[in-house]
Chain A
Amino acid sequence: MNPQDLLYSKDHEWVRVEGEDGTVGITEHAQKELGDIVYVEAPETGAEVKAGDEVGTIESVKAVSPLYSPLSGEVLEANGGLDDAPELLNQEPYGNGWIYRMKLGDIGELDGLMKAEDYEKLVSSEE
Chain B
Amino acid sequence: MAANESAPLKKTALNAAHRRLGGKMVEFAGWDLPTQFKGVIEEHMAVRTRAGLFDVSHMGEVEISGPDSLAFLQWITCNNAAKLKVGQIQYSALMTDMGTFVDDLLVNRTGETEYMLCINAANVDKDVAYIKTLARGDVNVINRSDDYVQLALQGPNAQAILDPLTGADLSGIKYYRLVHDTVLDAPSIISRTGYTGEDGFEIYTSPEHAEKIWYALLERGGTDEFGLQPVGLAARDTLRLEAKMALYGNDIDDSTTVYEADLGWIVKLKKGDFLGRDVLKRQKVEGLKMILAGFEMTGRGIARHGYPIVRGGEPCGRVTSGSFAPFLKKNIGLGYVPVDVSPVGTEIAVLIRGKEVPARIVETPFYKRQK
When C-beta atoms are compared, the residue in chain A nearest to B26 turns out to be: A62
Is B238 a contact partner of A61 (Cβ separation < 8 A)?
A: yes
Is A62 a contact partner of B35 (Cβ separation < 8 A)?
A: yes
Among the 9-residue stretches A1-9, A31-39, A108-116, the one with 4 or more Cβ atoms under 8 Å from chain B is: A31-39
Is A61 a contact partner of B353 (Cβ separation < 8 A)?
A: no
Among the 9-residue stretches B36-44, B143-151, B173-181, B204-212, the one with 4 or more Cβ atoms under 8 Å from chain A is: B36-44
Is A77 part of the contact surface with B, judged by Cβ < 8 Å?
no
In the complex, which residues 65-96 of chain A have their Cβ closer than 8 Å to any Cβ of chain B?
A: 83
| A39 to B297 CA separation, bound complex (whole angstroms) | 13
In the complex, which residues 5-49 of chain A have their Cβ closer than 8 Å to any Cβ of chain B?
A: 35-36, 38-39
| A59 to B234 CA separation, bound complex (whole angstroms) | 14
Is B36 a contact partner of A59 (Cβ separation < 8 A)?
A: no
Is A57 a contact partner of B353 (Cβ separation < 8 A)?
A: yes
In the complex, which residues 311-334 of chain B have their Cβ closer than 8 Å to any Cβ of chain A?
A: 323-324, 326, 331
| A62 to B323 CA separation, bound complex (whole angstroms) | 8
> A61 contacts which chain B residues (CB < 8 A)?
40-41, 234, 238, 323-324, 326
| A38 to B322 CA separation, bound complex (whole angstroms) | 13
Is A35 a contact partner of B302 (Cβ separation < 8 A)?
A: no
Is A51 part of the contact surface with B, judged by Cβ < 8 Å?
no
| A59 to B303 CA separation, bound complex (whole angstroms) | 11
Sort chain A's interface into a size bin. 10 to 19
Answer whether A64 and B304 are a contact pair too, CB < 8 Å, given A35-B40, A57-B353. Answer: yes
Is B301 a contact partner of A36 (Cβ separation < 8 A)?
A: no
| A14 to B270 CA separation, bound complex (whole angstroms) | 65
Is B83 part of the contact surface with A, judged by Cβ < 8 Å?
no
Interface size on B, residues (CB 8 A): 19
> A60 contacts which chain B residues (CB < 8 A)?
40
Question: Closest approach, in angstroms, between the C-beta of A90 and any C-beta of chain B?
Answer: 8
Is B300 part of the contact surface with A, judged by Cβ < 8 Å?
yes
When C-beta atoms are compared, the residue in chain A nearest to B42 turns out to be: A36
Is B39 a contact partner of A36 (Cβ separation < 8 A)?
A: yes
Is B353 a contact partner of A39 (Cβ separation < 8 A)?
A: no
Answer whether A83 and B41 are a contact pair too, CB < 8 Å, given A61-B234, A61-B238, A61-B326. Answer: no
When C-beta atoms are compared, the residue in chain A nearest to B323 turns out to be: A61
Q: Which of A36, A38, A59 has the most CB of B within 10 A?
A: A36
Residue from B41, B302, B331, B353 within 8 A of A36 (CB atoms): B41
Answer whether A83 and B39 are a contact pair too, CB < 8 Å, given A39-B324, A61-B323. Answer: no
| A35 to B42 CA separation, bound complex (whole angstroms) | 11
> B237 contacts which chain A residues (CB < 8 A)?
62
When C-beta atoms are compared, the residue in chain B nearest to A40 turns out to be: B300
| A83 to B300 CA separation, bound complex (whole angstroms) | 9
> A57 contacts which chain B residues (CB < 8 A)?
353
Is A35 a contact partner of B353 (Cβ separation < 8 A)?
A: no
Is B304 a contact partner of A36 (Cβ separation < 8 A)?
A: no
> A83 contacts which chain B residues (CB < 8 A)?
300
Question: Closest approach, in angstroms, between the C-beta of A53 and any C-beta of chain B?
Answer: 14
When C-beta atoms are compared, the residue in chain B nearest to A38 turns out to be: B324
Q: Which of A35, A38, A61, A83 has the most CB of B within 10 A?
A: A61
Is B36 a contact partner of A35 (Cβ separation < 8 A)?
A: yes
Is B40 a contact partner of A62 (Cβ separation < 8 A)?
A: yes
Question: Closest approach, in angstroms, between the C-beta of B71 and any C-beta of chain A?
Answer: 43
Question: Closest approach, in angstroms, between the C-beta of A78 and any C-beta of chain B?
Answer: 12
> A36 contacts which chain B residues (CB < 8 A)?
39-42, 326
| A59 to B331 CA separation, bound complex (whole angstroms) | 12
| A64 to B353 CA separation, bound complex (whole angstroms) | 11
Binding site for A on B (CB under 8 A): 24, 35-36, 39-42, 234, 237-238, 300-302, 304, 323-324, 326, 331, 353
CB<8 Å pairs between A and B, sample of 24:
A35-B24, A35-B36, A35-B39, A36-B39, A36-B40, A36-B41, A36-B42, A36-B326, A38-B302, A38-B324, A39-B302, A39-B324, A39-B331, A57-B353, A59-B302, A59-B324, A61-B40, A61-B234, A61-B238, A61-B323, A62-B35, A62-B234, A62-B237, A64-B302
Binding site for B on A (CB under 8 A): 35-36, 38-39, 57, 59-62, 64, 83
**Apart from the given pairs A35-B36, A61-B326, A62-B35, 9 other A-B contacts in the complex at a CB distance below 8 Å:** A35-B39, A35-B40, A36-B39, A36-B41, A39-B331, A61-B41, A61-B234, A61-B324, A62-B234
